Amino acid sequence: MKIAILSCLYPFRGGIAQFNAALARELGRDHIVKAFNFTTQYPPLLFPGKTQYVTPEDKADNYPSERILSTVNPFTWSRTARAIEEWGADVLIMRYWMSWFAPSLGWVARRVGDRCKVVVITDNIIPHEPHFFDAPLTKWFLKGVDGCVPLSDSVASELQALSPGKPFQVIPHPVYNHFGDPVSRGSAEDALGIPHGGRNLLFFGLIRKYKGLDILLRAFDGLPRDYRLVIAGEPYGDFSEYRRLIDDSPAKDRIYLFDRYIPDGEVRTFMCASDAVVLPYRSATQSGVNAVALHFEVPMIVTDTGSLKATVEGAGTGLIVDKPEPECVREGILRFFGTPGLQEECKKHIRTQKELLSWSGFCKRLLSFTESL
* 250: preceding bond cis by omega (within 30 degrees): no
pLDDT mean over 313-321: 87
Nearest to 116 by CA among 147, 138, 159, 95: 147
pLDDT of residue 19: 95
Tens digits of residue pLDDT in 200-254: 999 999 999 999 999 999 999 999 999 999 999 999 888 999 999 999 999 999 9
Tens digits of residue pLDDT in 149-193: 999 998 999 999 999 999 999 999 999 888 889 999 999 999 999
User: Could you tell me whether strands 117-122 and 318-321 are parallel, antiparallel, or unpaired per DSSP bridges?
Assistant: unpaired
Mean pLDDT of the chain: 94
Q: Please check whether the two domains, 2-174+359-372 and 185-356, share a CATH topology.
A: yes
Q: In angstroms, how far is CA 99 from the centroid of its own chain? A: 17
pLDDT mean over 270-278: 98
pLDDT of residue 132: 87
Q: Domain boundaries in the chain?
A: 2-174+359-372, 185-356
The answer to whether residues 119 and 146 touch, using CB atoms and an 8 Å cutoff, is: yes
pLDDT mean over 256-263: 94
Q: In angstroms, how far is CA 224 from the centroid of its own chain? A: 31
pLDDT of residue 31: 98
pLDDT reading at 122 higher than 80: yes
Entry field: residues in the chain: 373
The domain defined by 2-174+359-372 folds into Rossmann fold (3.40.50)
pLDDT reading at 300 higher than 80: yes
pLDDT reading at 306 higher than 80: no
pLDDT of residue 128: 73
pLDDT of residue 67: 98
Phi, psi at 356, each rounded to 5°? -75, -35
Tens digits of residue pLDDT in 53-92: 888 777 788 999 999 999 999 999 999 999 999 999 999 9
pLDDT mean over 313-324: 88
User: CATH number of the domain at 185-356, out of 3.40.640.10, 1.20.1250.20, 3.40.50.720, 3.40.50.2000?
Assistant: 3.40.50.2000
DSSP sequence for 223-265: S-TTEEEEEES-BSS--HHHHHHHHH-TTGGGEEEE-S---HH
